[in-house]
Amino acid sequence: MPGAQVRGLLKLSVIVAILTIAIKTLAWWVSDSVGLLSDAMESFVNLASALLAIAMVIIAQRPADADHPFGHTKAEYFSSGFEGMLIAGAAVGIVWAAVQRLMNPQPLQALGWGMALAVAASALNGWLARRMLVASRSHRSIVLEADARHLITDVWTTAGVLIGLVLVKLSGWLWLDPVIAIAVALNILREGVKLAWRSVDGLMDTAVEADVRAQIDRTLAQFAHPTIRFDHVVTRRAGQRRFLDLHMHMPADWSLGRAAALRADVEQALMSEIPGLRASIQLLPTNVEAHFNDVVDPL
């Protein structure tokens, strides 16, 4: 069941976040590197984000009701938006710690052990991110995608920190450690802004993805005929759900039963080709046009 798999991956994300927090905190403790501290702080964001994501997925999978006739799927966007804000908050904390260390440089200890622990935690995050990204595409889950991309950012963050620490060890420049931490903060802040914007964009009823729209057009083209045409095709997406509204024009002398039967065939074809799609088709005679401020997209 897709919903169970999404929840299972998010629960796994919680476990991995706890493990990486422990590993990265130990890496910071043995090395006293503010760069590794910044890496550990991001793992706390991973944990908070995963816990919120589980709650939002449970809400998003609730069936439609009287107060929410189109379902609760948009709840997923709140998770990605909150994750973006958490990332931004972590970035501010990292910069604060880095500035303190920049003003008062400290020698690093047991750097080899600290770097080895950071590599182990990064490998764990990379493995989970790959699994979640694949699942997010098959389930069209913005929650899984947001979590996966955050973990990927975490992997690159760790790589940057490690490269910087190698330079510190080779050069002896202690100021480089807090500078690396600030660079890490700016990078994750950029990722947080992107996630927050995706959440806002999703809440504004954006059109379906280009490949989904192309599939809709191909399906409708199968029913096109000199006496049958489609226009006013309007789409929107809400989490895992897709919504489609359009007009289907057909001969005025057709019986209502015949017209309704064809509409049912079109709806069934659309929903079979595009899982999670809800189609609403208005029947109109061929010589009747609807005039209102909608996007007209004849096929």
pLDDT digits (tens, 9 = 90+) for 132-168: 888 877 776 767 777 787 788 778 777 777 877 787 7
| Mean pLDDT of all residues in 54-58 | 73
What CATH number corresponds to the domain at position 255?
3.30.70.1350
Q: Do 223 and 121 have their domain in common?
A: no
Compute φ and ψ for 217, nearest 5 degrees.
-60, -40
Q: Do 217 and 188 have their domain in common?
A: no
Residue 291 falls inside a structural domain:
no
- Quote the CA–CA distance of 74 and 46 in Å, as a whole number: 21
**Length of the chain in residues, anyone?**
299
Question: Helices marked H in the chain — which ranges?
Answer: 2-31, 34-60, 75-103, 111-139, 142-171, 176-203, 210-221, 256-273
Q: How many CB atoms lie within 10 A of CB 280?
A: 10
Q: Do 273 and 195 have their domain in common?
A: no
Average pLDDT, the chain: 78
Q: Do 133 and 232 have their domain in common?
A: no
Q: Do 50 and 160 have their domain in common?
A: yes
Q: Give the count of domains, the chain.
A: 2
Q: Do 16 and 140 have their domain in common?
A: yes
Residue 299: predicted pLDDT = 53
Res. 48 pLDDT band, cuts 50 70 90: confident
Residue 1: predicted pLDDT = 42
Q: Which helix (H) or strand (E) holds 241?
A: strand 241-250
Residue 2: predicted pLDDT = 52
Q: Minimum mean pLDDT among 59-68, 240-249, 286-295: which range?
A: 286-295
Segment 256-275, tens digit of pLDDT: 899 899 999 998 899 888 87
Q: Do 21 and 160 have their domain in common?
A: yes
Q: Do 191 and 221 have their domain in common?
A: no
Q: Tokens in use for 26?
A: 């130990």
Residue 261: predicted pLDDT = 92
Greatest Cα-to-Cα distance within the chain, rounded to the nearest angstrom: 88
Q: Tokens in use for 159?
A: 């790589």
Question: At residue 216, does pLDDT exceed 60?
Answer: yes
Q: Do 15 and 98 have their domain in common?
A: yes
Please say which residue of 174, 203, 232 terminates a domain. 203
Residue 299 falls inside a structural domain:
no
What CATH number corresponds to the domain at position 36?
1.20.1510.10
- Name the residue range of residue 273's domain: 210-285
Residue 45 falls inside a structural domain:
yes
